[in-house]
Amino acid sequence: MFHKEGYKIIIVTFILVISGTVLVDNFVTIDWLRLALKLVLLVFLILILQFFRNPKRHTQPNEKQVVSPVDGKVVVIEEVFEKEFFNEKRLQVSVFMSPINVHVTRYPIGGKVIFSKYHPGKYLVAWHPKASEENERTTVVVENKTYGQVLYRQIAGALAKRIVNYAKVDDTATQGADSGFIKFGSRVDLFLPLDTNIKVKLNQKVKGGESIIAETNE
């Protein structure tokens, strides 16, 4: 299954690969070079298909837990001052996605969307310290009665040129459901209450909609 955000790019890629194969067959006479060029086209097609894949995830809804919004590796766990929405200290957990990861963004908790804002910006590498404040990004806050308010921020990377965010204020968020997409390399930051119980470690690989990032201490 492929994400709807990739349909146009996949179709264009198929056309380019087929056209390229025809050109190689007609104009390249050296056998090894013809084979090599066809392999390059095939690898390119496979990479595009892999990037836009949208595997089904089996989220176990739990209002006391925060699930990872994306696939990737945990690169930040620290206490920070979140100044866009909370204006107070929060625990930040950041997940970095390489180009080979699934790039679907999923709701980390269920509840009501109370804030959603897009920010145009730069395209610094996703792990850059200032990427969270200077890169193209979206900020979404979801609230439920049990866990409280959770902010997640989609951040474009050096390769990402478009962030897609489906979350709108007053929407009902379903934990683990599709809330957006980031095209080509990026990261997502979570901002959680200080008294939350973090369930992941640095450099741990996580799966969107399934891996437990944190849970309440109650």
By annotation, the residues acting in catalysis are 186
C-alpha neighbours within 13 Å on the C-beta side of residue 5: 21
Can you read off the two tokens belonging to residue 186? 């990026």
User: In sequence order, what are the beta bridge partners of 115?
Assistant: 141
User: What span, in angstroms and rounded, lies between the C-alpha atoms of 94 and 212?
Assistant: 13
Contacts of 25 (CB under 8 A, 6+ apart): 34
CB atoms within 10 A of CB 91: 19
- 36-51 b/e (C-beta count within 10 Å ≥ 16 → b): ebbeebeeebeebeeb
- Report the amino acid identity of residue 23: L
Whole-angstrom distance, CA of residue 138 vs CA of residue 132: 10
Tell me, rounded to whole angstroms, the distance of Cα 112 from its chain centroid: 20
Measure CA 105 to chain center: 5
- Which of 95, 99, 132, 126 minimizes the C-alpha distance to 207? 95
